[in-house]
Structure 1
Amino acid sequence: MNADTPMIDTTAMQRIGGQLGTNPAGIFQDGNGRRYYVKTLESPAHARNELIAAKLYQLAGAPTLTYINTKAPEQIATEWVELDKKCIAHLSESERKQAQQWFAVHAWTANWDAAGFNGDNQGVVNGKVLTLDVGGALAFRAQGDPKGKAFGIRVDELDVLRSDDGNPHAIKLFADMNADDIKQAIMVVVQIPDEKMRRVIIDNGGSHALAEKMIARKADMAGR
């Protein structure tokens, strides 16, 4: 998403489909036939949190859906795409490897929902594996509750995403990564300049405290 992208206003659009995840949402179509998936979150802070997370994913090179500006501050919108696959269980071995490249991006952003509650947060479009929803990253859980102290400067997710029995689909996706795979994944994040992280967060309405926390999390990962 960039500053030149026009804002969409769902009040002037036709709703043509219902919600697919846990948040109130729908598929909306504009007068030109373009479709968007629009979520209405608890607050503008939740929407800003998700947008910043998406920007950090994109900064790291991790594929996501295309985010679009919305007129309503508590909404998050992405361009609608038809997925070729929409579940981890359907990924081929090479697609699983592709998804694993971004393991450390999920860990860095504390995206506990990287795999999805039903394994439905990784999808495939034209051979490319995408993270379909980053609402569970940074300060809030996927359901909207604040993470509080659980989102600190230590990236415990490097272990937790591979071993937490309460997150079976993440285990299915990441547990078989070897030390070399993990190191390569970490390098994806470690090579991002601090200044670029800082700029992305501040330019998208994030705080200086969040920027420093993400830089500290990067340093923690480098130390591993």
Structure 2
Amino acid sequence: RLQAKAEYEAELAESDTKRKAREHANNLKSNQYEDENYKSDDIEFISFSVRYEDASTLSEDSSDRNSLGRLLCEWISPSSSSGIDYYTIEHQLGDQPWLSMGDKIDKLQNQTQLDISSFILDDNNENVSSRFRLTAHLENGKTFTSKPTNQINISSISRKSIIIPNVEVLSDDSIQLTWNKDESDKVNMYDIEKKEAQQTEWKKVTKVPFLQ
């Protein structure tokens, strides 16, 4: 009886050991799965947006006058930003690898500008869209990225023709706009836009046929 009891207890101990080993293996497998699926790209701790500003909204600086426009990148830094060393903007053309562009951005900044001239694509890639994202470089060497922007067709934006007309005030509630036609452009309609003082956005007010 004593021998049978000892054998039974030994079997129970062995069974319990195997059970614990299986649980440990499952935990390791689960943790490994989480590590494999952990990507900094998926961390949405940075709000990042990019919008286009045409050349007519820029300053009178000579470099701005020669620009085709710019992309204004803005973001909200995470609340726990004390460990951030600096930011960079990354650009992806089509399905090509992400590439860092521009200089390092101070961790205290929450916006930067990109000259659109640096993104002009050749004719073979004119239909290829771009995406942008913000990368935070931590002091410990790790990096975290924002979600990428929606696709932006840089070539389409760069082809947008901006004309600055001559403005003549006719009365308190009437003005006259005149401009020279660009015969090289395939245009059938002009959009007239205005921007109030202290405003940053242009608003369309009417359309004008090309023949006018």
Bigger RCO (CA 8 Å, 6+ sep): 1
Larger radius of gyration: 2
* Higher share in helix: 1
Q: Same fold (TM over 0.5)?
A: no
Normalised by the length of structure 2, the TM-score is: 0.21
